[in-house]
Amino acid sequence: MQSRLIWIMRPDDANIAGNVHGGTILKMIEEAGAIISTRHCNSQSGERCVAALARVERTDFLSPMCIGEVAHVSAEITYTSKHSVEVQVHVESENILTGAKRVTNKATLWYVPLSLNNVNKVLEVPPIQFAEKAQEEEGRRRYEEQKLERLETKERNGDVIMPVINPEPYTVGYSQSSLIHLVGPSDCTMHGFVHGGVTMKLMDEVAGIVAARHCKTNIVTASVDAINFHEKIKKGSVITISGRMTFTSNKSMEIEVFVDADPFVDESQERYRAVSAFFTYVSLSKEGRPLPVPQLVVETEDEKRRFEEGKGRYLQTKAKRQAQTQPLTQQ
């Protein structure tokens, strides 16, 4: 099963340099994934449901998208488990004046079907047919890996960002930022819970503010590490999206972002961590060329620990990228 959506990029989708916000692209990706997974989960007779986003795998922003270009977003279901759907999404940008197209994003998302009658009830997913047994086994491997990573991320989600008085430039406290948002009906699904794409767009905005404060230049989203949706966010909740810089290399910045929800409508429930992720940004000149990133000044033991953890993720990603390109250079 496949689906395809088309958007034209407008000025309110982009930053002051004309580059489309990473959050806008993430929102398009999520909408395409939600449509195809909801269609699939309702393809057989039985209890009706809507697909809710559970996780977004690492997503690389391969090429900037600009105002006036047309985004072609295609989605395909590539694996189903008993209670989840894997969707792979490709984004192409088209220059409508020349007809030239280029791939800007590739993403993998996981959804779970929630009953329309009972939002806490997860329904079974109709299985898909695989052309080869190896495809099914590879999909099962991806499913088990993301399931384990979600559990590990949830266990380390106790951090809170505290305000810093008179922070020095280039320190963690200097650029850390927060945004508070009241969840309204336009943010939500028919269940009354926030769309995953809305949450990701807000997270990207906060990460962008952190990066801009640190560099004071034009910045763009380079990649997003896995985004884990730990708990649903209800309509009427007040959410706090917080971001802080964790690591810098010579040309990139890693920013940790998490979303905490205060369910004021339901006073019996306390504030909780709903979503967490790491965003990577790069600094660009006015001509769109990469600029050196000012090095992050770490002061506390926790900041030093997070810096080393971020360095480990950076080196791991770099090694994977080199391993993927090496066979191409040897041909």
The residues that are catalytic are: 15, 204
**If you count them, how many residues does the chain have?**
331
Task: Give the largest Cα separation in the chain, rounded.
Answer: 62
Q: What is the amino acid identity at position 230? A: H
Q: How far apart are CA 257 and CA 80, in angstroms?
A: 29
Q: Decide if 273 contacts 259 (C-beta within 8 A).
A: yes
Work out whether strand 2-8 and strand 253-262 pair parallel, antiparallel, or are unpaired: unpaired
Q: What is the amino acid identity at position 133? A: K
Q: Decide if 172 contacts 245 (C-beta within 8 A).
A: yes
Within the chain, where are the H helices?
22-41, 133-155, 172-175, 196-215, 301-330
